[in-house]
Amino acid sequence: MSRLDAPLALVPDSDVIAELRALLPDRPITWAEAHSVAERQAARLLKLLHVGEPAVPQFVISSLPGIVVDRRRDWPTSGMSVRAASHWRIVLKSNESRQRQRFSLAHEFTHVLDDPAIERLHANVAPARRHDRAERICNYFAACLLMPRAWVKHDWGTGIQSTRALAWRYYVSEQAMTTRLSELGLSGSRTPILMPSRGRGDRS
């Protein structure tokens, strides 16, 4: 079992989901505010779970009380979050890459966080556009959680500027890293690099 899949040794006494939901404003929010809140929530989650370096383990979500992660082959979508009586079930498509599943897990967890306030948060957006906006915010939260701004910029400053190298380090797809670098005003190179000898199985 890798560090990415290992269970958390100590679950905080605080209600992590409640703490993250407390960062949501009690009013409709602008697009810029939604991004800011998502980034603050991601940073807070990492701090509460004592994660300070890549790659972010999936247990930051899967270990939380009230969250059940279920993987099913040939599921019709990459991910889905379903509320049950006593918990949330996040279903992931198991035959997609592990990198894709990690992003989908973080994406679906955002739906869990925003669920109680979803109508209020997007009340200032035309009904036909609310779903798309919510999906884009979920993607942004996932990017902030798996590829935190400060970490990526630090790595970039130390000379890790290959999209492929950064994607490997953060265990995300090259597409996800390319998008994140663009969001951060950086531009990765696709120059081939020598990868460490450790197999992908060590990080699954």
DSSP 116-135: GGHHHHTTTS-HHHHHHHHH
Q: Is residue 204 part of a domain?
A: no
Q: How many domains does the chain have?
A: 2
- More confident site: 6 or 69: 69
CA separation, residue 121 to residues 28, 124, 133, 152 (Å): 4, 8, 11, 29
pLDDT tens digits for 16-40? 999 999 999 999 999 999 999 999 9
Average of per-residue pLDDT values in the chain: 88
Is residue 161 situated within a structural domain? yes
Strand, helix or coil for residue 44: helix
pLDDT > 90: percent of the chain: 82
Residue 139 placed within a domain: yes
- 142 and 154 co-located in one domain: no
Q: What is the pTM of this model?
A: 0.86
